[in-house]
């Protein structure tokens, strides 16, 4: 059964990862997808173009919701200043790394932005976590950071859908869950801890972030609409 869910417009539950290096390419994708996508994530690849905030304005001008995914990580005062600066823009979500001091400082100045703590990147598996010196598995790490995020005043977390059932058990629906790394069965790219669309929402995800499966589709707009229809069917049936 699909778990109890937040009252989120089903159209907004799909977030498209606008991972392109230039504004021109971003506009091409926004035009190509049209009304099939209402929510966009813009990350670090676009930042180095010098056109990041122009694209943000382009999205806002078309009535799109905006997820600034820059995963801020620095001393708490610097992270807080960056988040406070973002409040000048029409940003819905932004990400920071799940460090206690950074999260507390950012939460105090986030304004209307919904602050998401990054728990463990979906490109990391247990071998990677071991190499980084974490003496726990991915689920334990995600739960620890999620509980700290909730205590610090964050609105949600970014995590693999694999950890969402444990999040729901431990923190219920107090946190928004945004799940990247959504892939078809048989995925072979750099995302390691992945689920497909149905599995993610069955686990309790609030939003999913999809990039390459839409960008690489023969008909990207149709692919986005198909994902939206899958989400709608799942949530309306409760199956």
Domains located in the chain, CATH noted: 10-237 (3.20.20.70)
Spans in the chain with pLDDT lower than 70: 1-5, 120-139, 183-194, 238-239
From residue 61, give the alpha-carbon distance in Å to each of 54, 58, 65, 121, 160. Answer: 10, 5, 10, 31, 31
Per-residue pLDDT, 144: 80
What pTM does this model have?
0.87
Catalytic residue, chosen from 71, 114, 147, 192, is 71
CA 23/CA 39 separation, integer angstroms: 17
**How buried is residue 199: exposed, middle or buried, by Cβ count under 10 Å (0-12/13-18/19+)?**
middle
- What is the pLDDT, as a whole number, of residue 181? 78
Verify whether residue 65 is a known catalytic residue.
Answer: no
Backbone angles phi, psi at 167, to 5 degrees: -60, -45
| 204-213 pLDDT per residue, tens | 899 999 999 9
């Amino acid at each position: 059964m699909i778990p109890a869910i937040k009252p989120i417009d089903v159209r907004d539950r799909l977030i498209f990862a606008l991972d392109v290096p230039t504004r021109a390419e971003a506009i091409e994708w926004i035009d190509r997808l049209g009304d099939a996508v209402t929510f966009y994530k813009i990350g670090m690849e676009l930042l180095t173009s010098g056109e990041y905030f122009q694209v943000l304005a382009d999205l806002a001008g078309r009535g799109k919701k905006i997820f600034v995914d820059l995963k801020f990580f620095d001393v708490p005062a610097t992270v807080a200043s960056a988040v406070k600066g973002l409040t000048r823009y029409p940003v819905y979500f932004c990400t920071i790394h799940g460090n206690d001091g950074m999260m507390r400082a950012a939460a105090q100045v986030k304004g209307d932005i919904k602050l998401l703590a990054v728990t463990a990147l979906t490109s990391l598996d247990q071998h990677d976590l071991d190499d980084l010196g974490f003496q726990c598995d991915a689920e334990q790490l995600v739960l620890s950071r999620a509980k700290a995020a909730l205590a610090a005043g964050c609105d949600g977390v970014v995590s693999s859908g694999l950890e969402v059932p444990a999040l729901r058990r431990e923190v219920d629906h107090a946190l928004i869950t945004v799940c990247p790394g959504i892939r078809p069965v048989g995925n072979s790219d750099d995302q390691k801890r992945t689920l497909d669309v149905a599995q993610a929402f069955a686990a309790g995800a609030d939003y999913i972030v999809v990039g390459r499966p839409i960008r690489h589709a023969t008909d990207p707009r149709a692919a986005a609409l198909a994902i939206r229809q899958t989400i709608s069917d799942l949530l309306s049936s409760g199956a």
